[in-house]
Amino acid sequence: MPFTFKKLEIPEVVLIEPKVFADNRGFFMENYKYSEFADFGIKDNFVQDNHSKSVKGVLRGLHYQKLPKAQAKLVRCISGEFFDVAVDVRKGSPTFGKWVGEILSAENKKMLYVPIGFAHGFCVLSDEAEISYKSSDEYSPENEGAITWNDPTINISWSTKSPIVSEKDSQNKSLNEADNNFVYKK
């Protein structure tokens, strides 16, 4: 099996470590294989790939798309290093408002699976970083939602107190004020 799957403190969020075949020429790894992800319970059909590059201190997030265009994401680092975060925004969930975070880097090659019902964000730790992620639905501007990166009720331990945030993200609302239609189902 070329992947190791590890459920995090919020068990729906999964850290994935691919098997890397390295030698003096470089390396080879599989980024994604539906059959193995499905065997673990991740059965999303990823339909869009995104790629972004950011400089040190850039914080993007916390973003999600509302139903009916909600997205699960499979996030990985192509170059550099960033702190990747998922926040449970499912109303009624026992972990509502809780977060988990992992350092993803080109070196460790780990990936984070962020399911539907979670907001996602990251902060760049290296001089620059490139992020690639798959989404289970296409981007839909009319369904986008966001939460402020520094919401005190969530209290994420970011690596910086003064990140570089877009004008749009600087206007995000708190978890309790954000437009969100996710409801937890057991």
Q: Which residues are catalytic?
A: 63, 133
Query: Across-strand partners of 123?
Result: 59, 83
The beta-carbon contacts of 107-111 under 8 Å, at least 24 apart in sequence, are: 107/81, 108/17, 109/17, 109/18, 109/20, 109/29, 109/76, 109/77, 110/15, 110/16, 110/17, 110/76, 111/15, 111/16, 111/17, 111/18, 111/31, 111/74, 111/75, 111/76
The radius of gyration computed from the CA coordinates of the chain, to the nearest angstrom, equals: 16
Residue 62, Cβ density class (10 Å: 0-12 exposed, 13-18 middle, ≥19 buried): buried
